[in-house]
Structure 1
C-alpha cells in the first residue's frame, strides 16, 4: 500500500488553460454584514458567522445561532452536511459538531488524543469522519471522531497548506506547490501544479479557484481551467452552489449564474 501511494504521489495531471473566459450573468447584489459566510444551500438557507457566533438563517427569515466564547475565535466552519456542521477553533485545537438545530452533538479536543494532533485545517468527511491537516507531521488525515481512529494518512507534503475542501466523494488539498485530490478511500487521484491559486470553492466535484483578484473554473473530471468573466470586484469570499456563484466583498453579496456548456 505504501508503494502504491508512492507511485501515485509521482502522478501529476497536466492542466490546460481555456482561451475563452466563461461568461457569467449577474443576478443580484444584496447588502450583507457578516464576518464570514459559511454556506448557502439550494433552499436559500444561509450559514454565517458574526460576532464569533454561527447563525443559520432560513429563507423565511428565521434565525438560530450557536456560540462558544470560551474556545476563542471560530477559525473555520463547514455546513456541507447540515446534520453534522463542524466548527473549528484552531487556537484551542478543538472541533464542535452541531446538528441542524445548532445543538452540540460531539466535541473533539485534539490536545487530549493519543497520539496528539496539531491541526490547522478541517473539512467534512463521510459518515463520522473529518479530513484534517496535521501540521506537525505535514500530512492529510481522515479521522473518525466516533471511534477515535485515523482511517487514512497521506504522504507528507513539502509546502505550505493554503486551503482544504471536501464533499462526500472527494477531498481537495491546496498547497503552494500543488492541488491534490483524494477520493473518500484516501487514494490520491490527481495532483496538479499550483500556478498561483490561493483558495478554492467546490460543488458537485466542480471547483472555483482564486488567483490574485480573479476567479477560475475547473469542471469535474476535466483538466481545463478557464477564467470567469467577472467585473472588477473585491473578492473577500466566494462560494459555489450548483451553477450559482456567490461573491462577498464585506458589504454586499453578489450572485452570479455561470454559463457552463
Structure 2
C-alpha cells in the first residue's frame, strides 16, 4: 500500500512539474516596420508602417491600404484574409478589407444604434467581430451586416489587456483572468492571470508574454509552460502553426517550436 502511495505521488509530481518548451532557430532577418500583423502558411507578410497596412507576398510584391482621416491604426486582424478588419480606436471605427486590401465595409460605432464604445476587436466567423464594449465591460460577438449582437458575455471586473480569436474560439486576457469562449458564447475555461500581458494564438495553441519571457499553452492542457529562448528583446511575437516569430525592432527571428 505504501509503495502504491509513493508511485501515485511520483506520477502526480511528474505531471505537475513545470518543464520548458524548446525551440530551434530557423533564421533571423533584418526588418524595419512599426508592427507585425501576421505571417501566414504561405509566408504572406502583413505589417504596419507609417500608419499603413501592407500585404507582402513571398516573391516580394506588395499592396497597401491607408486611411489617414481615421487617425492611427490601433490593430489589424488578418485571420480571415478575405475579410481583414482594421480598427481605429480614436474614431471608434472598423474598416473591413478584402484580399486586395480594398474597402468592402465600414462600421462606425458612433452612428449605429445602440452606440458601442469599443477598445478591442478580433475576427469572428461569417460576418462577425469579437469586440470588447468598454461601457458595459463585456465581450460581444457582433454581426456587422445585420447590426445585431449575437452574444454578450457576463461583464468582467478587471482591465482588458488583449483579445484573440479564430472561427471557433475567442480568448480574452484581463488583468485577473484568461477567459476562453466558443462561438456559441459559452465560457469554456477561466484561468487565473499571473502576470501575462499579451497573447497570440494558432490552431488553438496560445503563446503568452510575461515581462520579457514567453510561455506556451497547449490547446488540450491547462498548464502554461515557459519557452526556452535565448536572451533577446521581445517587442512583438506571433505564432503560425508551430512556427514562433519574434521581432526585436531590428530583426525578425523565426523559431520552430518543439511541441510534444
Q: Does 1:143 align with 2:145?
A: no
What's the counterpart of residue 235 of structure 1? 234
Bigger Cα Rg: 2
Structure 2's unaligned 5+ residue stretches are 1-14
Shift in alpha-carbon separation, 1:34–1:117, aligned structure 2, 3 A: same
Partner Cα distance (1:111, 1:17) in 2? 49
CA deviations on 1:151-175 (whole Å, 9 max, x unpaired) are 0000000000000000011000000
Q: Does 1:83 align with 2:73?
A: no
Structure 1's unaligned 5+ residue stretches are 1-15
Q: How many residues align?
A: 246
What's the counterpart of residue 201 of structure 2? 202
- RMSD (Å), alpha carbons: 0.9
TM-score w.r.t. structure 1 length? Answer: 0.93
Partner Cα distance (1:194, 1:20) in 2? 19
Match of 1:147, SS state, is coil
| Counterparts of residues 125-136 of structure 1 (less than 5 Å) | 125-136=124-135
Match of 2:110, SS state, is helix
TM-score w.r.t. structure 2 length? Answer: 0.93
Match of 1:255, SS state, is strand
What's the counterpart of residue 24 of structure 1? 23
Moved over 4 A (4+): none
Shift in alpha-carbon separation, 1:107–1:115, aligned structure 2, 3 A: same
What's the counterpart of residue 215 of structure 1? 214
Partner Cα distance (2:18, 2:96) in 1? 43
CA deviations on 1:89-134 (whole Å, 9 max, x unpaired) are 0000000000000000000000001111000000000000000000
Match of 1:24, SS state, is strand
How far did 1:238 drift?
Answer: 0.3
How far did 1:178 drift?
Answer: 0.2
